[in-house]
Chain A
Amino acid sequence: MEPRAMAASAAQRRPSPLHPKLERLDPAKPHTFIRPTKRIIEGSDMSHFLTSGAYRDIMLFIFQLNRSLCPRKKTAGSSAPTPTPTPGPPRARARADPNVQTFTLSAGRNSDIEPIKKLRELLKKVDAIIDEAPPDKNAGRRFGYAQFRDFYALLEQRADSLLKEYLPQHVLGFSTQQQPPESGEGRVGPMEELKAYFLGSWGSQQRLDYGTGHELSFLVFLGCLYKLGAFQDDSRDTDEISRSIVFGVIEPYLKVARRLILTYMLEPAGSHGVWGLDDHSFMPYIFGSAQLTRPISSETEPMPLEGSVAGAPKPSDVVKVELANPHKEENMYFSAIGFINDVKTGPFWEHSPMLFDISGITDGWGKVNKGMLKMYDAEVLHKFPVVQHFPFGSLFSWEADPAAAKPERTVHMAQQPTATLPQGGGGGTRTPWAQTGGTTGGIAAPMLPRNPPAAAAAAAAGDAGASSGRFVSDVPSTFPQGDPGTASAQYSITAAPWAKKK
């Protein structure tokens, strides 16, 4: 499915059906907030998730942010938006088209609206907590440093006051209609919803890992703020605000996440090893490729599906440090590549074969961007191990989106796990069927095999039984029916007492 089609199918019919945007709540209407809770318990819940309001809004928000980053052709006589193209690295500048406006990381920081600046300060505060909980380099460790739990404890302690200090008053004071007392929910306001996603954004204190699920949690934190009108500013258009969100908040967030990963050696959450896109992140590859796509000239023009903007680095520049590095201050894709080069040793094609192959794409960044969006949908949002940790409230809602199309019944979805049993999480390899308590977890996205993995694996399992001859009956009956990618039996949450140090 094309990104546009995906967005459209996920969106309710709205004034701009082509490029729908996330809807803001009407501040005049009291809203009933819901304490976010996990809803995806079994594999079969996945199909509901894909028709939920939350899924629709996540996709909408990503497409909205993505599109805002796409270079724009300046129309003759148009009053181009103030932030002029910032000069990129010399090579890029030399060939840049003066009639095209591109958007780079360093552009327009100072002109960010107040709530964005405040969020950056919030991120600085989070970053500073790292200094308060230094890793104990003398203590033994297996993968991650246990002092990440101290960081997390401090963050948890301070979350309320931090959010109160740095989020707009009108957001936290959003007019609230309480649920009837018999619901047993107690008082629930915007803070409860925001805090859940905020705290879910920094990795798992229990498992000492970080992955795309945590990244998603932060995106949704921003999505909640957006819906609550935190970024509303009459002097800016939606695209400008969207860009501010990406460059002014998401990229600084990724920097904090990278520092967390480095400082505490956080493990990739559910890693396909070298065969995943990236150990920890996905967003920067989407947004970074959007920054470099072929420009669009009107607001009705669809996102380009191929081609690059003039002056863009080549996709193949990714694999050479000296070619990639000059772009990392301006482009999110290269910023992410820069981080990989910082933390990994060894040939790039060996530790990042997926990104290596993508660097061979010759149809430009538009093609890369299209692929990244599709891949995100399939490898993050469609993956039970990632979204099982996602909590649903009122803003990103579990309730079905009436306009949603029935999700395609893919092989993949047919293979979701079914059973639930208790377990916790910790360091090292975990069972794919292990679930853990606490905050949203994540899994680094794997590459898409050219054959549907579930189908191939299921077939393989069948054959395995056949070829092992007399041991046919020994092949566990769960495997052939289960999802080889996740597990045929999933365990729900019982954190071991010693697994969680508060």
Chain B
Amino acid sequence: MADLDRAIAQLRACRPIPENEVRELCHKARELLIEEGNVVTVQAPVTICGDIHGQFHDLMELFRVGGDVPDTNYLFMGDFVDRGFYSLESFLLLLCLKVRYPDRMTLIRGNHESRQITTVYGFYDECLRKYGSANVWRYCCDVFDYLALGAIVLGASNTLSPSTGAGGGSSEPIPPELGLTEDDIEIEVRNADGHIMSRFPRQERARRAAAAAAAAARRSNSNGSPTNGAAPAPPEREVVVSAPSNTGPPGSGASGSSGGSVGNPAGAVLCVHGGLSPLIDKVDKIRLLDRKQEVPHEGAMCDLLWSDPDEIDGWGLSPRGAGFLFGADIVKVFNHRNDLSLIARAHQLVMEGFKEMFDATIVTVWSAPNYCYRCGNVAALLELSEDESGLGTYARSNGDVNRSDGGMGDGGGGGGGGGGGQRGVLAENELMSLRMRPGPARRYRVFQAAPQDSRGMPAKKPVADYFL
């Protein structure tokens, strides 16, 4: 362990560890990851993060904003490597933390965690340059093959717990004229210093309906390009519209839905890098995949890592050349069938750091600020609080052992079982009346690129062959 702690310290200082240590680390990581199921079960509280892309200093900023490991549980949704200068340091640090604190760190696979993609988008070049050989790239790629494909977050609360990240518990009281309590807050957005930027209460039915109508009108006016997907609304507007329809009394944990499961009042959250697949109608189908391989060019595993939500009906071909586009109807049916309240995914740059879509049934979280040194975007992380109603707790489990029940057991922690099969396929007109699970309370922390003053200039390296 001392070795590991030393390696962590070295990597935190942004210095790569020697090749033999990488080899050993990757070996340990593989032993650990092989025990994890394709879909890891994670217990709230947890902080969910999107793409990192080798932006090491911004990863450090993320830890500052979100709280350090192991004080904060983290779930990273892939794309640790490629494009940035420090893919190696970023990935190895995350891997070290995973090995050191296996229950506090969850890493799932992104489409860039692949041999083919890393040889095109930079990680391969980086390893070669930093070590002079491809060995380290090879070790890392071997680990990629073992990363889980998704995670299910259980036990998330539909009220926010006090803030513990940057700025500590700085809690700004809600103006009394709003007639709200802390428990009414569904979404809270904080800046990097922990100050509240905005808060959104759960909406009562009437107001929500009005907002939805207004949103519909806006949508029909906006006529945006469907390919570009990103709706014009900044998070606030999206968010206001997005209050779930079927909230029980705030804070009671009661959803009023037949799918309500003990101890999991806010419904489960599925985390996956890209999105859904037409080949996957139930979370359990993900568990059946043989994931220990290079990401294939097609099929369910590929789709989970490559797909994107889009303002379309049903499924569409992805302009990326892999995965699919999927519309709101797909997400709503999938969430309903699987007793999910939310899908959290990454994979797409969002200028505002996060973006909820489709009545808050899916959210994109993006954690690489000023992407590629030039996009000018902010980054975000998503905190889900622990449900403290005391109605049930779940031990984290690595792997599929004792989970042969197959039904909805994992999704709803046992309570929601049977939902999937019985609900089956929904007729289209039923879709409109789909009773959505109330979403968990969500705290987003938005942060910018780390300051650069502390980075010293390295010595120039020998140039490529062309220039010799």
Q: Digitize B448-460: 1 where CB-to-A-CB distance is under 8 Å, 0 elsewhere.
A: 0100100101101
Q: A142-B230, A273-B82, A456-B128 are in contact. Are A265 and B375 (CB under 8 A)?
A: yes
Instruction: Using CB atoms, name the residue of chain A closest to B139.
Output: A467
Selected contact of B316 from candidates A140, A375, A496, CB within 8 Å:
A496
B84 and A274 within 8 A (CB):
yes
Selected contact of A460 from candidates B82, B85, B134, B306, CB within 8 Å:
B134
Partner-binding segment picked from B119-127, B159-167, B239-247, B253-261: B119-127
Q: Which residues of B contact A268 (CB under 8 A)?
A: 372
A140 and B228 within 8 A (CB):
yes
B292 and A474 within 8 A (CB):
yes
B452 and A346 within 8 A (CB):
yes
Q: Does A374 contact B (CB under 8 A)?
A: yes
Q: Which residues of A contact B355 (CB under 8 A)?
A: 140
Instruction: Using CB atoms, name the residue of chain A closest to B319.
Output: A426
Q: Digitize B281-321: 1 where CB-to-A-CB distance is under 8 Å, 0 elsewhere.
A: 00000000010111011000000001010001000111111
Selected contact of B319 from candidates A272, A360, A496, CB within 8 Å:
A496
Q: Does B49 contact A (CB under 8 A)?
A: no
Chain B residues within 8 Å of chain A by Cβ, number: 80
Within 225-252 of B, Cβ neighbours of A (below 8 Å) are at: 225-233
Within 429-474 of A, Cβ neighbours of B (below 8 Å) are at: 429-436, 446-451, 453, 456-457, 459-461, 463-464, 467-468, 471, 474
Instruction: Using CB atoms, name the residue of chain B closest to A343.
Output: B374
Within 130-147 of B, Cβ neighbours of A (below 8 Å) are at: 132-134, 137-138, 141-142, 145
CA distance A479 to B145 in the complex (A): 13
CA distance A23 to B356 in the complex (A): 59
B115 and A450 within 8 A (CB):
no
A347, A351, A361, A367, most chain B CB atoms within 10 A = A347
Q: A426-B319, A449-B125 are in contact. Are A141 and B119 (CB under 8 A)?
A: no
Q: Digitize A368-389: 1 where CB-to-B-CB distance is under 8 Å, 0 elsewhere.
A: 1011101100100000010000
Q: Which residues of A contact B293 (CB under 8 A)?
A: 471, 474-476
Q: A139-B224, A273-B84 are in contact. Are A447 and B129 (CB under 8 A)?
A: yes
Kindly provide the distance from the CB of B12 to the nearest chain A CB, expressed in whole angstroms: 18
Selected contact of B230 from candidates A139, A424, A430, A457, CB within 8 Å:
A139
B292 and A138 within 8 A (CB):
no
Q: A265-B375, A273-B82, A498-B226 are in contact. Are A357 and B319 (CB under 8 A)?
A: no
B452 and A451 within 8 A (CB):
no
Q: A353-B85, A434-B321 are in contact. Are A272 and B120 (CB under 8 A)?
A: yes
CA distance A38 to B86 in the complex (A): 38
Chain A binding surface, main DSSP class: loop
Q: Which residues of B contact A456 (CB under 8 A)?
A: 128, 133-134
Q: Digitize B335-372: 1 where CB-to-A-CB distance is under 8 Å, 0 elsewhere.
A: 00000000000011111000100000000000000101
B145 and A471 within 8 A (CB):
yes
CA distance A146 to B222 in the complex (A): 14
Q: Which residues of B contact A481 (CB under 8 A)?
A: none
Q: Does A428 contact B (CB under 8 A)?
A: yes
B350 and A142 within 8 A (CB):
yes
Q: A349-B458, A374-B466, A449-B128 are in contact. Are A140 and B351 (CB under 8 A)?
A: yes
B124 and A484 within 8 A (CB):
yes
Q: Which residues of B contact A353 (CB under 8 A)?
A: 85, 129, 461
B134 and A451 within 8 A (CB):
yes
Selected contact of B133 from candidates A206, A279, A451, A499, CB within 8 Å:
A451
A461 and B115 within 8 A (CB):
yes
CA distance A22 to B44 in the complex (A): 68
Q: Which residues of B contact A431 (CB under 8 A)?
A: 117, 297, 306, 320-322
Q: Digitize A247-272: 1 where CB-to-B-CB distance is under 8 Å, 0 elsewhere.
A: 00000000000000000010010111
Kindly provide the distance from the CB of A371 to the nearest chain B CB, expressed in whole angstroms: 3
B228 and A141 within 8 A (CB):
yes
Q: Does A6 contact B (CB under 8 A)?
A: no
Selected contact of A345 from candidates B117, B316, B370, CB within 8 Å:
B370
A347 and B452 within 8 A (CB):
yes
Q: Which residues of B contact A202 (CB under 8 A)?
A: none
Kindly provide the distance from the CB of B308 to the nearest chain A CB, expressed in whole angstroms: 8
CA distance A142 to B224 in the complex (A): 13
Q: Which residues of A contact B374 (CB under 8 A)?
A: 343-345, 351
B466 and A429 within 8 A (CB):
no
B321 and A425 within 8 A (CB):
yes
Q: A429-B121, A476-B296 are in contact. Are A271 and B227 (CB under 8 A)?
A: no
B464 and A207 within 8 A (CB):
no
Q: Does A10 contact B (CB under 8 A)?
A: no
Q: Which residues of B contact A430 (CB under 8 A)?
A: 319-321
Selected contact of B124 from candidates A457, A479, A496, CB within 8 Å:
A457
B120 and A486 within 8 A (CB):
yes
Selected contact of B463 from candidates A139, A360, A427, CB within 8 Å:
A360
CA distance A32 to B185 in the complex (A): 73
CA distance A457 to B227 in the complex (A): 35
A275 and B122 within 8 A (CB):
yes
Selected contact of A484 from candidates B116, B230, B463, B466, CB within 8 Å:
B116
Selected contact of A432 from candidates B117, B370, B464, CB within 8 Å:
B117
Q: Which residues of A contact B82 (CB under 8 A)?
A: 273
Kindly provide the distance from the CB of A372 to the nearest chain B CB, expressed in whole angstroms: 8
Q: Which residues of B contact A274 (CB under 8 A)?
A: 54, 83-85, 122, 373
B121 and A271 within 8 A (CB):
yes
Selected contact of B83 from candidates A207, A273, A347, A368, CB within 8 Å:
A273
Q: Does B90 contact A (CB under 8 A)?
A: no
Q: Which residues of A contact B133 (CB under 8 A)?
A: 451, 456
Within 294-341 of A, Cβ neighbours of B (below 8 Å) are at: none
A460 and B115 within 8 A (CB):
yes
Q: Which residues of B contact A349 (CB under 8 A)?
A: 457-458
B85, B347, B348, B458, most chain A CB atoms within 10 A = B85
A146 and B112 within 8 A (CB):
no
CA distance A474 to B301 in the complex (A): 13
Q: Does A14 contact B (CB under 8 A)?
A: no
Q: Which residues of A contact B120 (CB under 8 A)?
A: 270, 272, 385, 432, 485-486
A496 and B317 within 8 A (CB):
yes
CA distance A456 to B292 in the complex (A): 22
Selected contact of B134 from candidates A146, A207, A457, CB within 8 Å:
A457
CA distance A448 to B466 in the complex (A): 8
Q: Which residues of B contact A272 (CB under 8 A)?
A: 120-122, 125
Q: A140-B233, A456-B133 are in contact. Are A146 and B225 (CB under 8 A)?
A: yes
Selected contact of B116 from candidates A149, A424, A479, CB within 8 Å:
A479
Q: Does B111 contact A (CB under 8 A)?
A: yes
CA distance A186 to B452 in the complex (A): 60
Selected contact of A449 from candidates B115, B129, B308, B320, CB within 8 Å:
B129
CA distance A479 to B228 in the complex (A): 32
Q: A457-B134, A467-B142 are in contact. Are A142 and B349 (CB under 8 A)?
A: yes
A428 and B227 within 8 A (CB):
no
Instruction: Using CB atoms, name the residue of chain B closest to A424.
Output: B319
Q: Which residues of B contact A357 (CB under 8 A)?
A: 460-464
Q: Which residues of A contact B462 (CB under 8 A)?
A: 357, 450
A140 and B372 within 8 A (CB):
no
Kindly provide the distance from the CB of B393 to the nearest chain A CB, expressed in whole angstroms: 34
Q: Does A354 contact B (CB under 8 A)?
A: yes
Q: Digitize A477-502: 1 where CB-to-B-CB distance is under 8 Å, 0 elsewhere.
A: 01100101111110100101011010
Task: Report 21 cross-chain contacts, Cβ distance below 8 Å, ordered by A residue.
Answer: A140-B231, A140-B355, A146-B225, A271-B83, A343-B374, A344-B374, A346-B452, A371-B466, A372-B466, A430-B319, A431-B297, A431-B320, A433-B297, A433-B321, A460-B137, A461-B115, A479-B294, A484-B115, A485-B120, A487-B297, A501-B225
**Other contacts beyond A347-B452, A357-B461: 15, CB < 8 A:** A140-B230, A140-B355, A271-B372, A345-B449, A357-B460, A371-B468, A423-B322, A426-B319, A431-B117, A456-B128, A468-B142, A468-B145, A496-B316, A498-B226, A498-B227
The 4 closest A-B pairs by CB, nearest first: A426-B319, A434-B321, A140-B230, A273-B83
